[in-house]
Amino acid sequence: MVKKGQSLSINTLIILIIGLVVLIIIILFFTGTFSKGVVGTNNVLNPAINQTNQSGQLINNL
């Protein structure tokens, strides 16, 4: 049997790890790492604002 104190510390550790991973993903996303690494991320999120042609040049739809 796992003691109550041990299970609480394990759950807290898991929550902290998940929180750190989510925080890192959010920071990388807002700094533009994913938009450079993953093709078409901006087009999926904001098709009206960020549209690029095949050569990667930005097309402004104003």
Domain residue spans of the chain? 4-59
Q: What is the pLDDT along the chain (62 residues), one digit of tens a residue?
A: 556 666 778 888 899 999 999 998 888 777 766 555 555 555 555 555 555 555 555 555 54
The single-letter DSSP state of residue 32 is T
- Output the pTM of the full model: 0.41
- Residues in a beta bridge with 59: 51
DSSP string, 1-62: ---HHHHHHHHHHHHHHHHHHHHHHHHHHHHTHHHHHSTTHHHHH-TTT-EE-TT--EE---
